[in-house]
Structure 1
């Protein structure tokens, strides 16, 4: 089995458009943002970096769960076990960041949660680069890794950017909710909170039901 992807060249990873190279670039950016957060003393700058970090964390994880981990489960021996471990880390990060968003900057509890999130992100990166992704590299050729990278990037660029307790970790549930949540999150990123959370939950529940009904109807039509 190939070693950790951390130490390989871009060419060994299948080229710059390979999903492995794209993953590693995001991981490096996450590490850079965590270090920048710690380097700033100014609370406003720290909040700006934390917001940028959260946006990358959640769009990156959503692309993994929608595109990458299903490929691992299809292609890799013990893929179910490997991806379940990473999904559990993602859920812990989701819950902690949701808690951070409810607390005021400077609150000691908030800072403690930030440090726990940083530790989980670093553990998640090591699990992916040292355990999961080398197995995928062994199972797929470079052309397959590049195609997977293109799909991964497409999803990442249109993914939600905040934690959402109502989103499942796996398709089709996360994919069904991805579009409306992404639209809401990007409005929120640009304009601040635009809907109360309870109203958002009711809206998304209704929209999910509609999307499921449309998907079922399409399947029925295809079978006729």
Structure 2
């Protein structure tokens, strides 16, 4: 019986793709994914049947992947980062009836970004997407309120787009009700892939023009500090 693999390919660079993900993609005759994700794979797509769609066609893409597996092809459904975090693992499992599914984890962008910034998520942290395409903004605001009040380190995904120019500023305004103005903030554009840039700010000095849709923003907790141009969140070890 054919198998459907749901694979997190990491942030984009081949070096951050797991061996398990790489080997599974190599052996599967069919790859399904968003256009940009297919392009990231480069020569891994050679000799494969490629099924791809544009943005906002996630459910359609998942149905295509399920159909390929039902037709007898071992199939890879790819997502950047980890397929279980803002990826396709959930929709695939909801749609997949009568086929075998295996989820293969990947390095999520918040981890790739954190490694470039230093050690900002050494302690408890959460991820919040600022995209309100699938989640009402009121719900996002509530999550920001509670995460900031609990002093989590917060990794923000999808912080800005043409349709959401002001969402990041609104999010920071909420966070600043609970965190010190000097709390370190790291912003990494294209974490782990070509076009990579990183900046370190604090809550008061964020350059909102630097941030785009492909930027991960990591906000420290009230113990986070900057040393030698790295962000560090202590876990409590006696150093």
Do both share a fold (TM > 0.5)? no
Q: Greater relative contact order: 1 or 2 (C-alpha under 8 angstroms, separation 6 or more)?
A: 1
Decide which structure has greater helix share.
1
Decide which structure has greater strand share.
2
TM-score by length of 1: 0.27
